Amino acid sequence: MHPVAILASWGPHDTQLILSCVLGLALIIVAIGWLKLAPFLAILVGTFVAGITAGLAPETIAAAFAKGVGNLLGNIGITIALGAMLGALVAGSGAADRLVDTILKRSTPRTLPWLMVLVALIIGLPLFFEVGLVMMVPIIFAMARRSGQPILRIAMPVLAGLTTLHALIPPHPGPLIAVSALHADLGLTFGLGLLVAIPAAVLAGPLYGMWLSKRLVLAAPEDIGHTLSARPDAQTLPSFGISLLTMLLPVLFMLGRTVAQLWLPHDDWRYQALNFVGEPIIALGLTVLFAMVVLGWARGMPRTQVGDIVRKGLPPIAALLLTIGAGGGLQQALVMAGISDTVAKIAQVGHLPLILLAWLIAVALRQATGSATVATTTTAGIVAPLTASLSATHNGLLALAIGAGSVFFCHVNDAGFWMIREYFGLTLKQTIQVWSVLQTIVSVVGLVLTYVFWVALS
């Protein structure tokens, strides 16, 4: 759309939406940082303030908030709970310590962060970010404790690896949505995504982590860190093979589902079986049962002890789930108010290269809605009519640029922001330093590399 036409379509409601969004987000930050309110309550209040000032009726805001909470927790709440159970079993049985022992024997303090980003890239390939995070948390804490390294030196490479995959690599939802909407080639986009993802993960992970760990020292949170890091008798540790298989089992299930969806006919029994066990909830549920058997009962651990380990993994994530759900409620209220259309109007003003325009639209939508999926879906729909004359390579690069923009500077309306804050016991400022800046590095590096490839191949 021509800039003049866009400006002509701008109305008072668009201005009102922008101001209400800024007001709501500012109130949330003040309520948490200064008033010290619980994040769930602060987000709830901020949602109603943003919604009312945007012109929504209170009952509409309440319905939108409830829907957003339900949608988000329905998607990831059960997954996080199962992941917490698995993490508790992996840690409480000593499997995490066995993995840590083996990795430490094959690494040095200099190479450990690089090895951790590689582990995250391998484990996180078929997993949603939330699943990969809850699986890696016990490993992060155990590795930091055993190696004597700062927590951030270990955690940042893992977070960078997981978020880079989430933003840039199919079959993660965002990149897959962009590939479909732009009719890009999946295999080509996957290959290009790896070329972009590896440098982005390196810069945001080991390099930024080494710099930040010297300036921000963290202790393991009392609830999660100590619960997941209790070391059993070294003589009773499970074998490395069983420990690794338990960690990789949900990865293998989900990877098998992806392979089946790409290569097998849907009426094939192998497709149906792999599609079933590869559903994240099924994959994690089966792995929790597998871990209870091979890490607990088969090694002579009393049933009551196994049950206690599983139960103790759940209380630390209660506040986390409430906070994540509230972020989904805020996101839904803003989307219902029409913030996506307003941001799209802003981003389309000006004569910009298509790849930069797509990145900016995704950035603006992510800032406003807190959802990478909403940002990716909406942006791909906006730019799709402009891609008819592009090559398959350029369509793939455009999909990657949109994915990169969808993770720029994630903040208080992002569920991942609150997961990182709660898991690592951070303040609001520290979460911005750790998470928001890390994602911004991934986003900017993603844009720079896709633009370089775009120009080189034009």
Q: Is residue 105 part of a domain?
A: yes
Answer whether residue 90 shows pLDDT above 90: no
235 falls in which pLDDT band (50, 70, 90)? low
5 falls in which pLDDT band (50, 70, 90)? low
**For 317-330, what is the mean pLDDT?**
80
Q: Is residue 1 part of a domain?
A: no
229 falls in which pLDDT band (50, 70, 90)? very low
Q: CA quadruple 286, 289, 162, 360: dihedral positive or negative?
A: positive
Segment among 381-395, 398-412, 425-439 with least mean pLDDT = 381-395
**Given the structure tokens 């996506």, which residue do they identify?**
340
Segment among 9-23, 51-65, 146-160, 436-450 with least mean pLDDT = 9-23
The percentage of the chain sitting over the pLDDT mark of 90, rounded to a whole number, equals 41
The residue with greater pLDDT, 325 or 225, is 325
Answer whether residue 125 shows pLDDT above 90: no
56 falls in which pLDDT band (50, 70, 90)? very high
Cα separation, 388 vs 384, in Å, equals: 8
Give pLDDT, residue 406.
93
Answer whether residue 132 shows pLDDT above 90: no
The pLDDT mean for the chain works out to 86
Answer whether residue 226 shows pLDDT above 60: no
Q: Is residue 33 part of a domain?
A: yes
Q: Is residue 434 part of a domain?
A: yes
Q: Which helix (H) or strand (E) holds 336?
A: helix 318-337
Cα separation, 406 vs 222, in Å, equals: 33
Answer whether residue 274 shows pLDDT above 60: yes
Q: Is residue 167 part of a domain?
A: yes
Answer whether residue 122 shows pLDDT above 50: yes
Q: What's the structural domain count of the chain?
A: 1
The 10 Å CB-count burial string (b at 16+, else e) for 398-434 is bbbbbbbbbbbbbbbbbbbbbbbbbbbbbebebbbbb
4 falls in which pLDDT band (50, 70, 90)? low
**For 106-126, what is the mean pLDDT?**
86
Tokens standing for residue 111: 């190479």
156 falls in which pLDDT band (50, 70, 90)? very high
Rg (CA), the chain: 22
Domain that holds residue 314: 13-457
Peptide bond into 171 cis (omega under 30): yes
Segment among 17-21, 79-83, 417-421 with least mean pLDDT = 79-83
Answer whether residue 225 shows pLDDT above 50: no
Q: Is residue 269 part of a domain?
A: yes
Q: Is residue 53 part of a domain?
A: yes
Query: Residue type at 269?
Result: W
Query: Residue type at 308?
Result: D
- 246, 287 contact by CB (below 8 A): yes
Digit-coded pLDDT (tens) for 182-199: 988 877 888 899 999 999
Cα separation, 276 vs 436, in Å, equals: 35
Select from 381, 425, 414, 413 the least CA-distant residue to 399: 381
Q: Is residue 4 part of a domain?
A: no
